[in-house]
């Protein structure tokens, strides 16, 4: 009986310690991180696009968290600098992701700003990247015999549009691409702030 109590209280202590280290301390450190100075709030269209991103499970294959140079070659892959808490100030819920079946998308807006490429790639990834295992999302598009006024018509590589028809982006696809284009965390963060001149008063860390 005595050893059972020891075992249980030991387990509770371990649970308490790990909850503090993994949940409570990180929360205290970053829960009120202000937006990074270069970060723009999402527009309404971008927020709608973010919902489309969530609804279609993009985050099951794509992360949004380039890691530091010391931890992974993400910068060498062209995915940008390591993100900081302030880069996610407008992300609720955040879409960090845990899987990288496809590339990290935190800076896809810098890497691939072309709306036509993004739309076409969503319609048929294999039209742009032969052998891609990314699913196609044809339900975000309409096929029509003829485009109407105001339609955004896809300029697909030859052979990928249905014969005699045009492929037109639905509003969900346009919003999703606006969201992808907004994924740009390429502005400088900590090192540039230190180089920008004297630290604001009261920031003791910078004065020491
Ligand atoms: C089953 C996994 C999977 C899912 C789900 C998925 N992707 Fe992908 N994605 C990939 C792979 C693999 C690649 C790399 C090959 C390619 O470019 O097609 C990729 C590439 C991309 C790229 C180009 C990245 C670059 O660096 O060139 C974008 C943009 C993208 N995906 C967006 C999306 C969006 C938006 C969704 C949701 C609508 C989505 N993906 C869903 C696997 C996936």
Q: What tens digit of pLDDT does each residue of 191-201 get?
A: 544 444 554 44
Mean pLDDT confidence for 179-202: 71
How far apart CA 161 and CA 154 sit, in angstroms, is 9
* Tokens standing for residue 196: 């920008």
CB 64 within 8 A of CB 95: yes
Centre of ligand 1 to C-alpha 99, Å, is 12
pLDDT, the chain, mean: 91
Cβ–Cβ < 8 Å for 110, 186: yes
- Span from the CA of 58 to the centroid of ligand 1 (angstroms): 7
Indicate whether residue 129 lines ligand 1 (CB < 6 A). yes
Residue 143 C-alpha to ligand 1 middle, in angstroms?
22
Asked whether the CA dihedral 114, 120, 122, 124 is positive or negative, the reply is: negative
pLDDT confidence band for 30 (50 / 70 / 90): confident
Predicted confidence band of residue 1 (pLDDT cuts 50, 70, 90): low
Question: For residue 205, what pLDDT is reported?
Answer: 41
Q: Which residues contact 6 (CB under 8 A, 6 or more apart)?
A: none
């Amino acid at each position: 009986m005595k050893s059972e109590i020891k075992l249980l209280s030991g387990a509770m202590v371990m649970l308490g310690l790990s909850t503090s280290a993994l949940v409570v301390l990180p929360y205290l450190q970053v829960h009120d991180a202000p937006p990074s100075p270069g970060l723009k709030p999402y527009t309404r269209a971008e927020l709608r696009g973010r919902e489309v991103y969530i609804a279609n499970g993009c985050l099951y294959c794509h992360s949004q968290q380039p890691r530091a140079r010391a931890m992974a070659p993400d910068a060498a892959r062209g995915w940008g600098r390591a993100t900081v808490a302030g880069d996610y100030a407008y992300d609720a819920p955040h879409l960090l992701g845990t899987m990288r079946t496809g590339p990290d998308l935190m800076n896809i807006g810098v890497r691939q700003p072309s709306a036509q490429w993004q739309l076409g790639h969503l319609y048929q990834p294999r039209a742009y990247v032969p052998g891609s295992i990314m699913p196609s999302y044809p339900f975000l598009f309409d096929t029509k015999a003829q485009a109407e006024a105001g339609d955004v018509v896809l300029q697909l590589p030859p052979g990928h549009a249905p014969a005699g028809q045009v492929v037109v982006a639905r509003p969900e696809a346009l919003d999703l691409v606006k969201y992808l284009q907004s994924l740009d965390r390429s502005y400088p963060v900590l090192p540039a702030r230190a180089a920008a001149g004297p630290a604001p008063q009261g920031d003791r860390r910078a004065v020491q």
